[in-house]
Amino acid sequence: MLKYTLIPLLPLLSFIINILFGRNFIKDKAHWLAVPAVFGSFVLAVSAFMDVQSGNVININIYNWIVSGNFNVTIGFLIDQLTAIMLIVVTSISTLIFIYSIGYMHGDSGYYRFFSYLSLFVFSMLILVMSNNFLLLYFGWEAVGLCSYFLIGFWFHKKSAADAGKKAFIVNRFGDFGFGLGVILVFLTFGSLEYLQVFGKANSVIGQTINIFGYNLDLITVICLLLFCGAIGKSAQMPLHVWLPDAMEGPTPVSALIHAATMVTAGVFMVARCNPLFSLSHTAMNTVAVVGGITAIFAATIGLVQNDIKRVIAYSTVSQLGYMFLALGVGAYSAGIFHLYTHAYFKALLFLGSGSVIHALHDEQNMQKMGGLKKHMPITYWVFILATLSITGIPGFAGFFSKDEILYRAYLGGEVGKGLWMLATVAALLTAFYSWRLIFLTFHGKFRGPHEQEHHLHESPKVITVPLMLLAVGAVAAGWVGIPPLLMEHGDKIGEFLAPVLGHPHGEGSHSEEMMVMGMSVLVALAGWYIAYKMYVRNPELPQKVGAKFKPVYNLLYNKYYIDELYNRIFVQPTLKFSDKVILGFFDKSIIEGVVNGVPNLIGVFSSKFRKIQTGLLSNYGLVMAAGALAIIGYMLFLR
Amino acid sequence: MENVIFNQLNYPILTYTVFLPVLGALLLLFMSNATLIRWTTLAVTAATFVISLPLLTAFNKSTYKMQFVERHEWIPSWGINYFIGIDGISILFIFLTTLLSMLCVLVSWKAIETKAKEFHIAILTMEAGMLGVFVALDFFLFYIFWEAMLIPMFLLIGVWGGPQRVYAAIKFFLYTLVGSVLMLVGIVVLYFTGGNTLDILTLSAMQYPVKLQYWLFMAFLAAFAVKVPMFPVHTWLPDAHTEAPTAGSVILAGVLIKMGAYGFLRFSIPMFPDATKFFMQPMLILSVIAIIYGALVCLAQKDLKRLIAYSSVSHMGFVTLGIFALNSQGMEGGILQMLNHGIITGALFLMVGIIYERTHTRVIADYGGFATLVPWFAGLFIILTFASIGLPGTNGFIGEFLILFGAFKAQKLYGALAATGVILGAGYMLWLYQRVFWEKANPDWTSASHAVRDLNLREVITLLPLFILIFWIGCYPETFLSYMHSSVEHLLENINKPAAAGPEDLIAQRILEIF
C-alpha cells in the first residue's frame, strides 16, 4: 500500500520542500530534489503497471475524508488497467520534461518556483488518475487547474501572462460548475461516490427520470452531460476552448506537460473512466462525439493561419483532443485512450521542439521571423520531422495507429459516426497541412529574422536534446502496441489490456472498409504535406496571394472566429458593467442605502409634523379626546 | 435536568474561559505602560485560549446534550439562572473566538498607538461578550452578553477606525440595535408563553402554536438577519468592516457575524420548527441572492477591504443556505463554513491590515507587482485566495461542497444557482490577486524610501495558526465535523417531528387570521 501511496507523495514532498526552502536555500538546485522525486514516481508507476498486468487491480481506501449524515467519501486509490496506463504516461513524460526544464529554465529567477509548481502539478495529476471516487477526482481536477494557473502566470509581471492564467482558471470554473453538480447528483442517485459502487449500480437506474424546470429528463443523461461539462472545460473543447491557446503564455515545458500531454487529457480520462455511465445514454454519447468531431475540425482550421509557433501547436492540441472525444463518443473508449497515450508523446515532442527553437531565437515565437533553422539545429529538426510524421498519421508512426483506429471506429458508428468520420478526415488533411507548414516555415527556406541573430543560432544543449530524442522514440514507437488486427494478429495489445475497464467497441466492418478508411487517412496525410510543400517551399509567395484573395476567410480564421471578442462582449463586459452600475451603483447605493438612510430621515420629517399636534392647549386635547370617545362609542353601538 | 451533562471537569471551565478576559480587562485598568498592557493582554488572551482547549478534548461527541453545564440561581423571583453550557454547535465557536482574539492582539501590536489601554480593554471585554453569547443557556444572560459585545465593537470602530469611522459605527450600532430590540420583544413573549422561565433549553423543548411561531421567528430573524448579514440588511457590514481597525474587522468577520447564524441554530430552528419549515423557501431565496449579489458587488469594488467585506456577504449566504437546507450535509456544511469563514476572512483581514500598515492605501489600483516586492506575503495570500474560492484541499472546499450538496438535495434549483457563486468567487478573487500582486509593480513602492517590507516574525506567528487550520480542515475535516454530528442530528429530528398544531388546528387558525 505504501508503494502506491508514494507515487503521488514523492512529488508532493518535492513541492513542499522546494516551495518552503527554495527561495532562500535551494535556489538553482531545485531540480536536485524534483527530478529524483518524479523519477521515483515513474519507477513505482512501472512497478504498479506490472502488478496490474499480472492481474491485480488495486483498490485501497486510506482514510475517511468527509463524513456528514449519510454522505461519506474517502481518500482512496484505484489502480486498474486504465489508471496504470495513465500513470505511465504522466510519470514518464513528466520525468523527461523535468530534465528538459533544467536546461530550459536555467537562470530564470523563479527557477525554484517552477520546479515547485511542476512537482505540485505531478502530484495533483497523479491524484486525479489514481482516485477511486468522484470527489478525490474532483480534488485532483481542481488542483491541476491551480497548477495550470500558477504556471501560465509564471511570468506574472507580464499582463498577458497574468490575464491568461486567470482566464484559464475562470473558464475552467464554468465547466467545473457542471462537473460539481454532476458529482453531487451521482451521490444522490447512487448513494456513493466510489467508482466501483456507482458503476455497479449503473444499470439499476436505467429509465429513471429527473425533473428539471418541469421537464422530465433521463437521469443518466443528465448526470453524464453534467460531468461532461467539466471535460469540455478541462480538455478545452468547444465552446470552452478559449483558454488553451492563451495558456501558451506559460513557459514551454509547461505547455508540453500540462497543456498537451497530461492535464488537458483529464477530460478524456474522466469520460473513459465513467464509460459504464456514458454507455447507457445515447444522447450523452452523441453529444460527446459531436462536440469532439466539431472541435477537431474547428480548431484545425484556426491552426492553418496562425503565425505563433506555440499557438499552432496549441490549436493542434485542441483538435487532437477533439479526436479523442470523438472516439469516446462512438464507444471506442480504448481508441480514445490509445490516442491520448500516443498524442502525449508526439505532442510533448512538438512543444519541446518548439521550445528548443524559441530558446535558440531568444524568445521569438513568430514563425514568419524564422526559417532555415534546419542546418543550425539538426537534432531539433529531425525530432520535429518524426513528431510531424506521427501526428499526420504516416503509417508506422505512433499517431497513425491511434488516429486510424478512431477514424475507423467513427466510420462504423452509425449515421452520426459516418458524418463525423468525414469531418475528422478533413481535419486530418488540415492537420497535415498546418503541421508541415510549421516545419517549412521554421526550418526550411531562408532565415527571416534579424541578421545579427543568425550568427548566434545554435543547437540546444544536451539536457534539452536528450529528452527530445527520448520522446522521439515514443513518438515513433508508442503506437506499436496498438496495431490493428487487419495488419497484425493480436497486434492491438493496448485495446486488449484495457478491455476489462473499457470493454470492446461494438460493430465490425469488412476488411475492405477498414482498408478504405486507412487508405483515405494516409491519402489526406500525403495531400496535406503536398499542399504545404507547394505553398511554402515551392512558391513561398503563394500563401500571401491566397490570403489576400480570401481575405474575409483569412481574417475570420486568423482572429479565431472572433470568439474571444464575442465572449468579452456578451459575458465579461456586461457582467462587470452590471455589477458596477446596476448592482453596486443603483441597487446597493440608491435603493438599499436610500431606504436605510431614508428611514431616519423620514422619522425626522414625521416627528416634526407630529410635534405640531402637541399644542399644549388643554381645549385641543379635550376636543380630540371627545372625538375619540365618540368614535369608540359609535363603533360599539352600531358596528358590532 | 436530564437533557444536560453537568460539568465533566472538576473545575468550572466555561466560567473561567468567559470571565478570564474580564479579569484581564480589570487588571489593565491599573496599568499605564503601553508595552506592559500589550503583553498582559496577549498573556490573558493566550491563557483564555489554553484554558478553553480542554473543552475540545473532554467533549463527549456522542451526545447532543449540553455539556460542561454550570447552573446557579441568580434572580429566583424572575426565574433567572446563571446557566451556561455548550454543545456540538457552539463548541467550535469558543475555539474560534479565543483563537482569533489572541491573534487580534498580536496584529495590533504596532498598529494601535493611541489609547492603547482602552483599545485592549475593549478587545478583552468583547472577547468575554462573544464567549458569553455562545455559552449562555438563559435568555437573560444571553441578552446581556449579546448587547454587551456591541459596545466595545462600537467603540473599536468609532475610536480606532478609518476616516468614515463615526458614520460606520453609528450605522452598525443602529442596525444591530433595531434588530436586537425586536428579539427582546420575542424573548419577553417567550417568557410569558413558556411559563415564566428564561431557560433556553426548557423553552426549546416546548411546542408553540404555529401562528405564534411565525411571529417569533420573524422577531428573532430581525436580530439574526442583520447580524449575518442577510440580503437586504447587509449594508452596515461593508462600512463597519472597512472602517474598523484590523482587529475590529477580524473579530467582526470572524466571530460577530457568526452570531446571527448561531442564533438560527440555537433559537429559531429548535424553538420554532414549524415556522422554520414555513420560512425555508424565503430563507433559501435570500441566501442565493446574497451569494450572487455579494459576489457581483465584489467585482465592482475598488477598495481592498471593502471587497473582502462584501465577499463576506456572499460567503455568509452560503452559510444560511446550508442551514436552511435543513438536512445534515447542509447544516454541518453551514456550521463548518462559519468556522471556515472566520479563519479565511479573518486571515484575509489580518493580511490586509498588515499590508495597509506599510502602504497606507486600500485602493486596489495603487497596488500591483507585490509578488515581487513581498514574496512571502504574496505566497500566503494566494493560499487564502484559493481557500476563499473553495479549492479542494483547503477548508473552503469542504464547507462549500457540503452546503451545495445539502442545498441541491433540498432544492435543485437553489443548489445550482448557488454554485454559480463559485464561478463568480473565482472571478473576483483572482482578479483582485492579479491587480495587487501580479503585473508590473507600481513605481511608488519600488523606490528605496518607500520600500515595502515582507512579513516579520510576529506577523508570521499571527498568521500561522490560521493557515494550519485551512489545510487541516481541508484534508481531515472529521476532526471538526465530528463535534457537530450528534447535535445536528438532534436538531433535524426536532424539525422533522409532526407539526405542533394538526392540520385542522392550522385551518382554524387561518380562519381566525382572516376574521
Write down the pLDDT at residue B321. 94
DSSP per-residue string spanning B199-252 = BHHHHHHS---HHHHHHHHHHHHHHHHHHTTPTTS-THHHHHHHHS-HHHHHHI
A185 contacts chain B (CB < 8 A): yes
Residues of chain B with pLDDT under 70: 1-2, 448-450, 498-515
Could you tell me which chain B residue has the CA closest to the CA of A164?
B434
Who contacts B402 (Cβ-Cβ below 8 Å, separation ≥6)? A66, A68, A71, B322, B329, B330, B332, B333, B334, B336, B337
Strands B66-75 and B80-86: antiparallel
B237 contacts chain A (CB < 8 A): no
Q: What is the pLDDT of residues A314-365, one digit of tens each?
A: 999 999 999 999 999 988 898 899 999 999 999 999 999 998 888 888 888 8
Which of B174, B375, B419 comes nearest A180 by C-beta? B419
Do residue A583 and residue B379 have CB atoms under 8 angstroms apart? no
Chain CA centroid to CA A229, Å: 11
**CA B99, B103, B104 angle in degrees (round to 5)?**
115
Cβ-in-10-Å burial (0-12, 13-18, 19+) of B150 comes to middle
Q: What is the pLDDT of residues B240-290, one digit of tens each?
A: 888 888 888 999 998 998 999 999 999 999 989 888 888 999 999 999 999
Do residue B422 and residue A588 have CB atoms under 8 angstroms apart? no
Q: Scanning the structure block, which residue is given the C-alpha cell 424546470?
A: A213
Write down the pLDDT at residue A269. 94
Do residue B299 and residue A68 have CB atoms under 8 angstroms apart? no
- For CA atoms B396, B401, B402, B403, the dihedral sign is positive
CA–CA min distance B300, chain A (Å)? 5
Per DSSP, helices labelled H in B390-411 are: 395-410
CA–CA min distance B369, chain A (Å)? 7
Write phi, then psi, for B75 (nearest 5 degrees): -125, 85
Who contacts A627 (Cβ-Cβ below 8 Å, separation ≥6)? none
Write down the pLDDT at residue A465. 87
Q: Are the CB atoms for A312 and A303 separated by under 8 Å?
A: yes
Q: What is the pLDDT of residues A442-483, one digit of tens each?
A: 888 888 888 888 778 888 888 888 888 998 998 888 888 888
Q: What is the pLDDT of residues A488-543, one digit of tens each?
A: 777 788 888 888 888 888 777 788 888 888 888 899 999 999 988 888 888 878 88
A72: three-class secondary structure by DSSP: strand
Residues in A closer than 8 angstroms to B471, CB to CB, are none
Residues in A closer than 8 angstroms to B371, CB to CB, are 156
Who contacts A445 (Cβ-Cβ below 8 Å, separation ≥6)? A371, A372, A536, A537, A540
- Which of A63, A68, A71, A590 to substitute to test the interface with B, most B CBs within 10 Å? A68
Write down the pLDDT at residue A270. 94
A20 contacts chain B (CB < 8 A): no
* Dist CA A229 CA A210 (whole Å): 18
Mean pLDDT score of chain A, rounded to an integer?
86
CA–CA min distance B410, chain A (Å)? 11
Write down the pLDDT at residue B506. 52
Q: Which domain holds residue B423?
A: 4-514
What DSSP state is assigned to residue A191? S
Cβ neighbours, 10 Å, residue A458: 10
B443 contacts chain A (CB < 8 A): no
Per DSSP, helices labelled H in A330-461 are: 333-360, 378-392, 398-411, 414-443, 451-454
Total tally of structural domains belonging to chain B: 1
With a pLDDT cut of 70, the percent of chain A lying above it is 94
DSSP per-residue string spanning A456-485 = T--PPPHHHHHHHHHHHHHHHHGGGGB--T
Which three three-digit cell numbers place residue B481?
A: 465535523
Who contacts A147 (Cβ-Cβ below 8 Å, separation ≥6)? A117, A118, A120, A121, A124, A258, A263
B232 contacts chain A (CB < 8 A): yes
What DSSP state is assigned to residue A62? E
Q: Are the CB atoms for A340 and A269 separated by under 8 Å?
A: yes
Q: Are the CB atoms for B147 and B133 separated by under 8 Å?
A: no
Could you tell me which chain B residue has the CA closest to the CA of A167?
B427
Write down the pLDDT at residue A139. 93
Mean pLDDT to the nearest integer, A251-280: 90
Could you tell me which chain A residue has the CA closest to the CA of B392?
A139
Cβ neighbours, 10 Å, residue B443: 10
* Dist CA A590 CA A197 (whole Å): 54
Angle between helices B210-227 and B503-514 (to 10 degrees): 80
CA–CA min distance B7, chain A (Å)? 28
Do residue A173 and residue B420 have CB atoms under 8 angstroms apart? no
Mean pLDDT to the nearest integer, A5-17: 92
Q: Which of A249, A240, A389, A257 is nearest to A322 (CA)?
A: A240
Is the bond leading into B229 cis (omega within 30 degrees of zero)? Answer: yes
Enclosing H/E stretch for A184: helix A159-190
Residues in A closer than 8 angstroms to B422, CB to CB, are 173, 176-177, 180
A132: three-class secondary structure by DSSP: coil
Cβ neighbours, 10 Å, residue B277: 17
Write down the pLDDT at residue B504. 47
Do residue B481 and residue A212 have CB atoms under 8 angstroms apart? no
Residues in B closer than 8 angstroms to A184, CB to CB, are 404-405, 408-409, 415
A640 contacts chain B (CB < 8 A): no
Band of residue A601 on the pLDDT scale cut at 50, 70, 90:
low
Q: Are the CB atoms for A166 and B431 separated by under 8 Å?
A: yes
A162 contacts chain B (CB < 8 A): yes
Q: What is the pLDDT of residues B339-358, one digit of tens each?
A: 999 999 999 999 998 888 88
* Dist CA B491 CA B224 (whole Å): 18
- For CA atoms B336, B337, B338, B344, the dihedral sign is positive
Q: What is the pLDDT of residues B18-68, one digit of tens each?
A: 999 999 999 988 888 888 989 999 999 999 999 999 999 999 888 888 999
Do residue A580 and residue B299 have CB atoms under 8 angstroms apart? yes
Could you tell me which chain B residue has the CA closest to the CA of A161?
B439
Write down the pLDDT at residue A637. 62
Cβ-in-10-Å burial (0-12, 13-18, 19+) of A431 comes to buried
CA–CA min distance B366, chain A (Å)? 16
What DSSP state is assigned to residue A177? H
A575 contacts chain B (CB < 8 A): yes
Residues in B closer than 8 angstroms to A143, CB to CB, are 391-393
Beta bridge partners of A77: A60, A131
- The interface residues of chain A toward chain B in range 510-549, judged by CB-CB distance below 8 A, are none
Write down the pLDDT at residue A134. 93
Which of B328, B386, B426 comes nearest A68 by C-beta? B328
B282 contacts chain A (CB < 8 A): no
Do residue A68 and residue B301 have CB atoms under 8 angstroms apart? no
Q: Scanning the structure block, which residue is given the C-alpha cell 465593537?
A: B153
Q: B221: phi > 0 → left, psi -120 to 50 → alpha, else beta; which?
A: alpha
Q: Scanning the structure block, which residue is given the C-alpha cell 463615526?
A: B166
Residues in chain B: 515
Do residue A63 and residue B476 have CB atoms under 8 angstroms apart? yes
- Which of B230, B370, B389, B401 to substitute to test the interface with A, most A CBs within 10 Å? B401
The number of C-beta contacts closer than 8 angstroms across A and B is 141
Write down the pLDDT at residue A610. 61
Do residue B439 and residue A68 have CB atoms under 8 angstroms apart? no
Long-range contacts: A198-201, Cβ < 8 Å, 24+? A198/A134, A198/A277, A199/A274, A199/A276, A199/A277
* Dist CA B317 CA B341 (whole Å): 11
Half-sphere exposure of A198 (CA within 13 A, CB side): 27
Write down the pLDDT at residue A44. 93
Who contacts B400 (Cβ-Cβ below 8 Å, separation ≥6)? B318, B333, B337, B390, B422
Could you tell me which chain B residue has the CA closest to the CA of A590?
B235
CA–CA min distance A481, chain B (Å)? 37
CA–CA min distance A568, chain B (Å)? 14
Do residue A162 and residue B481 have CB atoms under 8 angstroms apart? no
Chain CA centroid to CA A57, Å: 28
Q: Looking at this predicted complex, what is its ipTM?
A: 0.89
B102: three-class secondary structure by DSSP: helix
